[in-house]
Structures are given as structure tokens and as C-alpha cells.
Amino acid sequence: MPGEERVDISDLNHADAAAAIAIIVPLIERGPNLAMRVIKRRPFADPNALAAAIRTEILELDDDELVALFRRHPELAPAAPDTMTAESRQEQGRLGLAAPVAEVRERLAELNTRYTRKFGFPFIIALHRHDDISSVIAEFERRLGGTMDSEMAAAREEVASVSRMRVLAAFAPVEATPA
């Protein structure tokens, strides 16, 4: 992750439980309980195996656990962006959601309110799959028309996708800088 010391997958495999959880928590939005479950699947052969273990644990959550995980995620363009994790600030910042223009902020505030009233948790979207805010808003509007079952499934997949991208970024090989 940006600004953090990189760890190797073997460091994670050999870390004590507290250190391993500390490595995994930034990969899962505020999910220490999920991280605890993931470390029980060690050792991981590579970052892909870690991402797969996170996905498996997300898939195994019951509905109550899943909703609790979803509720720990931030809204898009929240009123207080400093309350987001560094990872979410970076992901939302890429599309200008950390400080959106007034029109976008108002539209997202309205969509966030409608979505949370309907489903009981914030809208979750893997922003890495989108090139611009109009694509995000179109997906937001489309998913608002879904059912609780379809949205639980969609949000679960979005969380897994975000976690996978965070894993791959955190464990990417560090390129040597030319001398």
C-alpha cells in the first residue's frame, strides 16, 4: 500500500497472529474478525492464494456477518472523508470522490440516502473497475433497482474484488530504482 513498508507473503506466513492481522486488515475494509479467519488459512503460496482465501472467507459469512462487514464501508463521497481508511481515500480520490464538485456531491448524497434506506448498508462498488464518475453513478442507479438478495450478492462480490486489488497492490514486487 502507498506509504507503507511492503511485506513479502512469507512475512505474513511467519508472522504471529497479531502481526498477521495487522497486515491483512488494510486489505479488508475494517474487517479484523474476517482477517482473523483468513490467517487460519496460512500458509499462502502467493498473493493470489491470499486473495482467494479472503474471497472464500467473505463467501462463508452469514447474512448478519455480511451486513456488519458492509456497514463498516464508507459511502461514496462521504461528508467527512477523513473518517475513511487511507485505502478508501485513495480509491475514492482516484475518481475525485474525496472532494467532488457540488453537483456530483449532491447526486451521490441523494443516491447514498436512497440506497441505505432500501438496503440498510452503504453502496459498495469496486472503483478500480470504473474509469470515471459517470460510470459509477450509472451502476449506482442500476443497482438501486435490485432486490435485497441481488444486492447482497453484488456487494459481496464488490468487497472481494476490492480486497483482491488491495492484496495485489500490497504484495506487488517492488521495482528496483535505477542508480
pLDDT band at 2 (very low <50, low <70, confident <90, very high): very low
Sorted by sequence, the CB contacts under 8 Å of residue 104 that are 6+ apart come out as 77, 96, 97, 133, 137
Residue bearing cell 488459512? 41
Per residue in 27-51, pLDDT (tens digit) is 998 889 999 999 999 999 999 999 9
Overall average pLDDT of the 132-139 stretch: 96
Quote the CA–CA distance of 14 and 107 in Å, as a whole number: 47
Overall average pLDDT of the 3-19 stretch: 85
Q: Which CATH superfamily is domain 9-170 in?
A: Oxo-4-hydroxy-4-carboxy-5-ureidoimidazoline decarboxylase (1.10.3330.10)
Residue bearing cell 448524497? 109
- Classify 179 as helix, strand or coil: coil
Q: Exposed, middle or buried: residue 142 (CB in 10 Å: 0-12, 13-18, 19+)?
A: exposed
pTM above threshold 0.85: yes
Cβ atoms of 163 and 25 closer than 8 Å: no
State yes or no: pLDDT of 1 exceeds 80.
no
Quote the CA–CA distance of 58 and 54 in Å, as a whole number: 6
